[in-house]
Amino acid sequence: MATQTLLPKIKFCGLTRSEDVTAAIACGADAIGLNFYHASPRYVAPATARELGEIAQKSQGISNSVMRVGVFVNASPSEVDAVLAICPLDCIQLHGDETPNWLDDSLAFSSLQSIYFIKAIAWRDCDEDRTIALQWSGKHDARLLGLLVDAFDPIQRGGTGKTARWDLLSPRPFELKNTPLLLAGGLTSENIAEAIRIAKPQGIDVASGIEISPGFKDYAKMQAIGDIARQMILENQ
């Protein structure tokens, strides 16, 4: 397992505009999420994502580097490789029904052999989620930074605004105990402190909670969440 310090403390996801990337970094983001899922209202074409990623690459955040995370849903390694040929990324977020075999298959592509990964899962304290969590937490691959716990939705993949069951993460379930966690799912400036206090994640991932509308971010919301989250996450370490 990769060292926990590589997992971003604050990830602002679903960015579609250059001014929002600049604002996210000014508000303390360690990572920006670029969504390549066509069904998402936050989808960005690879060429546009490349331009947004270049802003992050040239910027210096609080942690001195800003991770460019590409969000994919049930895309094959070859499809991700095609995006990387246009838009360089530092990390891939798998937000669909991918199994750990996906990482093995990705080794056939040179662009994916050294890139980092985050796997999104739901956590409803049910057998299905426990099985998935064990499969991924037991995958000993240095490229896997950790798991992202999001709210469950049978149709939409992230950015739903639904609140995740962070109460089910305290105490930390056995299946997740040895895995760095990013917490997502309906996080806002009003509930972020409670969520971090209860779930004690290594980082947070916010999309809808920092928006005016899907893909259009709100500077004040990003600043409020960034200020609260960074201090609390540091205190929990």
| Residue 60, pLDDT score | 64
104 belongs to the catalytic site: no
User: What does each of the 237 residues of the chain score in pLDDT, given as a tens digit?
Assistant: 333 458 899 999 999 999 999 999 999 999 999 999 999 999 999 999 999 999 998 876 555 679 999 999 999 999 999 999 999 999 999 999 999 999 999 999 999 999 999 999 988 888 999 999 999 998 999 999 999 999 755 455 444 556 778 889 999 999 998 889 999 988 999 999 999 999 999 999 999 999 999 999 999 999 999 999 988 887 776
| Residue 2, pLDDT score | 38
Angle between helices 192-199 and 219-236 (to 10 degrees): 20
Residue 164: partners with Cβ closer than 8 Å, 6 or more residues away: 122, 123, 149, 150, 151, 183, 184, 185, 186, 195
For 22-61, how does the pLDDT look when each residue is reduced to its tens digit (9 = 90+)?
999 999 999 999 999 999 999 999 999 999 999 998 876 5
150 belongs to the catalytic site: yes
Domain ranges of the chain: 4-236
What is the C-alpha to C-alpha distance for residues 32 and 12, in angstroms, rounded to an integer?
A: 5
The DSSP element (H or E) to which 24 belongs, if any, is helix 18-26
- 226 backbone dihedrals φ, ψ, rounded to 5°: -60, -45
* 3-state SS, residue 128: helix
Q: What is the pTM of this model?
A: 0.92
Catalytic residue among 13, 27, 87, 91: 13
Pick the CATH number of 4-236 from 3.30.565.10, 3.40.350.10, 3.20.20.70, 3.10.129.10: 3.20.20.70
CB 159 within 8 A of CB 148: no
The DSSP element (H or E) to which 49 belongs, if any, is helix 46-58
| Residue 232, pLDDT score | 87
| Residue 221, pLDDT score | 96
Catalytic residue among 20, 90, 129, 150: 150
**Is the torsion defined by CA of 142, 168, 132, 204 positive or negative?**
negative
Number of residues assigned to the chain: 237
